[in-house]
Amino acid sequence: MATKGNHLSAYKAENLPNGAHYNVGIVVSEWNKVYTEAMLGGAREVLLTAGVPDSNIVTHWVPGSFELPLGAQWLAEREDIDGVICVGSVIRGETAHFDYVCSAAAHGILRVNQDTGKPVMFCVLTDDTAEQASARSGGEHGNKGIEAAVGLLKMLDLRSSL
């Protein structure tokens, strides 16, 4: 969502849904950790700002973005978890591996959403270069972790209003 000329990481704290009663799972890829740690920090910042108690934020690490869907499923299956944020970063290399990992992560995360009925946010950078990943994990194009946490709070709020 963060694209040139469109900085979507800006938000107003007073417009965030009250997160005081939510329990959030975050599953984070160890691969490209410099970017995933930055996005994790952005997501946590938003959740805490919205009133989610630190003790209600559960974070687990997985080896790479390919493993995010299963990690998300395990978290979403917990009765005490209301929603999950999946944080990853895949940077294009010289082979088709990029395409397979990105596709598997996207489809897997979508499936966890549908199978569990809980919001599971796709916070996976799929960039061509390290510079693009840096720009989207706290650089000039914002922080995708911030966007994912804002989106999760909005989805949780929607679910509780239905």
Q: Which residues are catalytic?
A: 97
Sequence-distant (6+) residues with CB within 8 A of 134 are 35
- Inter-CA distances, 22 with 19, 126, 156, Å: 5, 29, 8
What residues form DSSP beta bridges with 29?
62
Give, as one character, the DSSP assignment of residue 17.
P
Q: Residue length, the chain?
A: 162
Structure tokens at 26: 């975050």
Count of CB atoms situated within 10 Å of the CB of 76: 21
Lookup result for tokens 């946010």: 121
